[in-house]
Structure 1
Amino acid sequence: MTWDLLATVVVPVKDDERVYRLADSLRRQTLPHDRYEVIVVENGSRRFGDLAAAGDVIRYLRLPEANSATARNAGLAAARGRYLLLTDADCVADPSWIERMTAALQEGSASVVGGVIRPYAPRTWTQRYAITIVDGQDRLNYLPALHLPYVAGANAGFVTDRLREVGGFDEDLRSGNDVDVCYKLGLAGCSAAIAHDAVVWHEDRPTVRAHFRRFRFYATYQVLLFAKYKQHSGKRLVLDRYPFRRAAQAILDGPRAAARLVRGDAGPASRMLLQLIEAAGVLAGEIEGAVRFRQPYL
């Protein structure tokens, strides 16, 4: 197939004005505008139709219902780029992001590439001390559901043809559809890699409550992923050590954090507390998912 463009960037958005900030960063890429496009897919709201103008690198689509997987599939169907990149409305792309992601896909053997995710302008206590998405995605990530790696949709790139061959994103997964598509590609024989020089900056959840709810939401759909792929994993149930390991590490760090706090440094104690909240969110989500989807998973 002959492609019109090197890359298509797909951005799903619902009621998030930060998409304007992201759009500005995507307009200021080092890759020439005639080599890429950005497709903003508004789903479940009606606010951002003014993002695309005549002659702009940005195209605009709108879907009536909120579903990030459906939005990504709409972008995939309309894509004219050889490579399809994903990021989110709460992110900002480095000026060389598209160029470096496409270079990693062109030069390597991987059909799936994840870039590094860094915290964007932390303002609140939670943003300063909590971990960002998949702890920055400095390495490939794994879940107990399956042995294959995945990359997060905040900074991900794919060979467009391969995505279409595996059927795109699972619209039943309100969270984790980025993981799912990596699993489908992995089972089809595609490899994954990290592009360490392709950076996206992510604005993390600003409050403790939002931080907890984020991890609970992610973990709930981890259970559905397990249910979908257990015929490939061969597992009948899962014991996820991650929340227990995170909580244990936080507790072990407690004496050192307390000593630093006495000396006026609240950083270690803050990280310890938010790590415990993260672990509690994961555990709560896994219990909720196990009940909702009737799968042994904890």
Structure 2
Amino acid sequence: MAEADQTGVPISVIIPMYQHWELAPTLLAALEAQTLPKDRWECFIVDNGSDRVPDPATLPDFVTLLECPRPGSYAARNVALEQARGELLVFTDADCRPRPDWLERLWARHQESPGARLIAGGVRVCKFDSAPPNAVEIYDTAMGIPQARYARRGYAATANLAVPRSAFERLGPFDAARFSGGDAEFCQRAGAAGIPLFYEAAAAVDHPARRDWPELTTKLKRVKGGQIRSGPWKRRLKFLIKTFVPPVWAFWYAVRSDKVSPREKLTVLRVQTALWFLEMAETLRLLFNGRMERR
């Protein structure tokens, strides 16, 4: 990771991108609207092997385009870490829409205690258009990326995560071998080293609800691959056993959700049940051939 210097900026924003460059206009408009002045932050978008990559000259002046040929979003994030000058490294995803005060709030929280600590920002899963939601969108609105719950358990999604430079210098980068779960692994590594994680709900990004069954199942397969094929064997065994236990916690979380109506909760429960059966099937597949989904 690059050494901090006197020409550094307070914040470096890091975003991996794979294939879905059509999402860039929404993301870039949200970054353009940030209330924190642009001379206070820099932005790196790391293309991770997309078939089509835009000409860097067509991107806004505040964006630096990098390339990472090694598959995996954590490998891509690590490439940007080598170039970043910021005191605070802020991560989000290509399909997210940060709120205008996102960076300003993260920086203010960091300034309250500038020592090594991680900040998990809020993530709201929602539709980005006004059409009536389908069953998958209803499910993802209720269940997708429960960042507050993650933070209580000591980790956070890189859809909205801020990490001081000093933490990376102490712990090293993300695990580049992972396609999923590298954010949780890093946060847990930080916790084991005595670096705390704080939750800042107001420093929020909006994340689009997944629109159809293939989008939902691709995510499930990617996550399950990270659980079953990555990390220490005890952790993998825990996830293996957990897979074949009815997801009572998920059903309870859905019933208690205030993000959907009572009628929509029945839809969420039906989708969750179908996903559980798929999760078991995917786990068996991984045990037999071991190939992980990238996206």
Residue 271 of structure 1 corresponds to 268
Q: Is 2:194 aligned against 1:189?
A: yes
Q: What is the 5 A alignment of 1:287-298?
A: 287-291=284-288
User: Matched residues in 2 for 1:188 and 1:20: separation?
Assistant: 39
Q: Is 2:227 aligned against 1:244?
A: no
Cα 1:24/1:287, change in 2 over 3 Å: same
User: Matched residues in 2 for 1:249 and 1:213: separation?
Assistant: 21
Cα 1:43/1:291, change in 2 over 3 Å: same
How far the C-alpha of 1:207 sits from its partner, in A, is 0.7
How far the C-alpha of 1:98 sits from its partner, in A, is 0.9
How far the C-alpha of 1:206 sits from its partner, in A, is 1.0
Q: Which of 116, 120, 127 is residue 121 of structure 1 equivalent to?
A: 127
User: Matched residues in 2 for 1:112 and 1:167: separation?
Assistant: 14
Residues 159-207 of structure 1: per-residue CA shift (max 9 Å, x gap): 1221133220111101111112112212222111111101111112211
Q: Which amino acid aligns with 1:183?
A: Q
User: Matched residues in 2 for 1:248 and 1:79: separation?
Assistant: 38
Unaligned segments of structure 2, at least 5 residues: 256-260, 291-295
Residue 130 of structure 1 corresponds to 140
Cα 1:285/1:120, change in 2 over 3 Å: same
* Percent of aligned pairs sharing the same letter: 26
Q: Is 2:164 aligned against 1:167?
A: no
TM-score by length of 2: 0.80
User: Matched residues in 2 for 1:58 and 1:248: separation?
Assistant: 39
User: Matched residues in 2 for 1:34 and 1:152: separation?
Assistant: 27
How far the C-alpha of 1:115 sits from its partner, in A, is 1.1
Residues 106-152 of structure 1: per-residue CA shift (max 9 Å, x gap): 3246621111111232554111333467543123357xxxxx62100
Cα 1:248/1:194, change in 2 over 3 Å: closer
Residue 222 of structure 2 corresponds to 217
Q: Which of 167, 173, 178 is residue 183 of structure 2 equivalent to?
A: 178
Residues 224-253 of structure 1: per-residue CA shift (max 9 Å, x gap): 34426x4xx7x9655327962348837x97
How far the C-alpha of 1:70 sits from its partner, in A, is 1.5
* Structure 2 counterpart SS, 1:174: coil
Residue 88 of structure 1 corresponds to 93
Residue 151 of structure 1 corresponds to 156
How far the C-alpha of 1:212 sits from its partner, in A, is 2.5
**C-alpha root-mean-square deviation of aligned residues, in Å?**
3.1
* Structure 2 counterpart SS, 1:164: helix
User: Matched residues in 1 for 2:269 and 2:173: separation?
Assistant: 38
Q: Which of 49, 56, 59 is residue 50 of structure 1 equivalent to?
A: 56
8 Å Cα contact 1:86/1:156 also seen in 2: yes
User: Matched residues in 2 for 1:117 and 1:38: separation?
Assistant: 20
TM-score by length of 1: 0.79
Q: Is 2:78 aligned against 1:76?
A: no
Cα 1:181/1:288, change in 2 over 3 Å: farther
* Structure 2 counterpart SS, 1:75: helix
Cα 1:237/1:201, change in 2 over 3 Å: closer
User: Matched residues in 2 for 1:133 and 1:170: separation?
Assistant: 26
* Structure 1 counterpart SS, 2:26: helix
How far the C-alpha of 1:291 sits from its partner, in A, is 4.7
Residue 33 of structure 1 corresponds to 38
8 Å Cα contact 1:134/1:141 also seen in 2: no
User: Matched residues in 2 for 1:150 and 1:209: separation?
Assistant: 27
Residue 69 of structure 2 corresponds to 64
Q: Is 2:117 aligned against 1:111?
A: yes
User: Matched residues in 2 for 1:112 and 1:242: separation?
Assistant: 33
8 Å Cα contact 1:43/1:65 also seen in 2: yes
How far the C-alpha of 1:26 sits from its partner, in A, is 0.9
* Structure 2 counterpart SS, 1:78: coil
Residues 26-65 of structure 1: per-residue CA shift (max 9 Å, x gap): 12101010000110111102423337657x2211112234
Cα 1:237/1:95, change in 2 over 3 Å: closer
